[in-house]
Amino acid sequence: MPRAKRPLAEVDSNARRLPATKRTKTKTGKLEKDHESSKKNAAPSELPQSNTVRSEHTTGHKKALEQRQETFEYSKKDNSKLRRFLSERGLSTSGKREVLITRLENSTIDYESFSSEELSGMLKARHVRCADQGSKKVKIQRLRINDKIDRDTGNTEEGVLYGRLALLEDTIVPQFEKSLTENDYDSMTMESLRMLLMARKLPVSGDKSMRIARLQASDGPRQKISENARNEQDSRRAALERKIGHALPSANAVLLHEEQQRSEDTRILQALPQKQDVEPSSSSIPKCEYNWRDSHWASRTERELKDICRRREMPGYGTKAAMIKWLETGELDYQDLDVSSLEDKCKARGIKGMSKATKKDLIRMLENYDERGGTLLKEM
C-alpha cells in the first residue's frame, strides 16, 4: 500500500516551523497575506533591532582594535630596530632586510594585549629608564614614543657608533674646515696675527709678511688633518650603514630626533606621582657640585662629553658637571657617578646586597669597603 503522507515536521524533526499565514478574502476575490503585508508596512522602529545592534558592536570593536594595533614606516628603521619589533611580536628575526620588512608589514602588534609586566620587560630591553613605573596605559604610551626612534635604543654598540660619527659630523670636521677658510691673513692686524700664531704654537717674531708666510705654511698640515678627519667620518658612516642596512645622511639628525623623543618620555615620567621607595627624591641623592659653567667644555652637549670621556676611559659615568670635572681635574668622587657605575664598582669588589640599594646606599657600601683597606677610587 502507498505510504501515507505526513506533515513536514513529522518527516524531519529539525525542519524549521514557519508561521501560519492568515488568509482573508477581499471583495475582489483575491487572497491577501495579512502576515507578510503587516511586516512590509511596519515602521522601522517596529522591526527587530538585534542584528543592527550586533553589527554596530562588531564594527566598533574592530575599529577600536585597529586603533590599538601599531604599524610603522619600516623602511626608515635600522635592522636592529626591525628585529626588535619582530622579537616582540614573537616572529622570526632571521633573513635579509627586505624579508624582515615584509614580515613586519604582514603583522601587527596590540600593546593592550600584553600584561603590565610584559610591557615593563619591553621597555627594559630598549633601555628605557624607570621601566617599571606608571600604569599599563603609561607604559604603552612610552613604548609608542620609543617606536618613533629609528634606531634600537637597546643596542649599546650601535649607540656608541652613532655617537662617534655625530661627534665627527657636528664638531671635529666643521672646526677643521672652518679654521682653513675663515682667515684672511692680509686683512688681519699684527696683534690678530700674533694671537693666531700663539694659538698654533708658532713663533710670533717678524713683520707682517713673515707672520703671514708662517701661518700659510702651517695651513698645509692642517689641511691634511682636515682631510683625514673627513675620511674618518666617511669611513665610520659606511661601517654604520652596513650595520643598520640603509643610507644615513646624518647621524647627528638621528640622535637629535632621538633626544626629542626622550624629552617627551621624560615629560611623561615627571608627570607621574613620585614614590620615595621607588625613586628617591633629588634632595636625597648626592650630586656633583663642581662649578663647570665657566669651563671651555661647557658649550659641549652631554652626548659629545660622553663620547670624549668614553674615549679617554673615564672610570664610570655621571652628570655633565661630573664629566667636565673629570676632564679638567682627572678626579672623581663616588657621588659624581651614576647608579649603574656605582653598581659596577660594587660588583668588581664582590659587594653583596645591591638589589634594592639606592645611590646613597651604594656610596656608603663603597666607602665602607675603602675604610676596610679596599681599592681606592683613583686606582680603578
What span, in angstroms and rounded, lies between the C-alpha atoms of 363 and 367?
A: 6
DSSP one-letter code for 111: G
For residue 286, which phi and psi values (nearest 5 degrees)? -60, 140
List the Cα angle 111/128/256 in 5-degree steps: 105
Task: Give the start-to-end residue ranges of the domains of the chain.
Answer: 67-147, 156-252, 282-379
Q: Which residue has the cell 516551523?
A: 17
**SS3 for 153?**
coil
Q: Could you tell me which residues are beta bridge partners of residue 137?
A: none
209-217: which pairs have CB atoms within 8 A and are 24 or more residues apart? 212/185, 212/186, 215/183, 215/185, 216/185
* pLDDT tens, the chain, 380 aa long: 444 444 433 434 444 333 444 444 444 444 444 444 444 444 444 444 444 444 444 455 445 445 556 667 899 999 999 999 999 999 999 999 999 999 999 999 999 999 999 999 999 999 998 999 999 999 999 999 999 999 999 998 898 899 888 887 877 666 655 655 556 777 778 887 787 788 778 898 889 888 888 877 777 666 666 677 778 888 888 999 999 999 998 888 898 899 899 899 989 988 988 654 444 444 445 566 777 777 878 888 887 888 788 777 787 778 888 888 888 787 878 888 888 888 888 887 878 777 778 888 888 888 877 776 654 344 33
For residue 109, which phi and psi values (nearest 5 degrees)? -135, 135
Per residue, the 3-state secondary structure of 175-218, as one string, reads HHHHHHHCCCHHHCCHHHHHHHHHHCCCCCCCCHHHHHHHHHHH
List the Cα angle 182/184/189 in 5-degree steps: 120
Residue whose C-alpha is closest to residue 126's, from 153, 89, 145: 153
Residue whose C-alpha is closest to residue 258's, from 299, 224, 303: 303
Residue whose C-alpha is closest to residue 89's, from 74, 73, 111, 67: 111
Q: Please say whether the beta carbons of 276 and 287 come within 8 A.
A: no
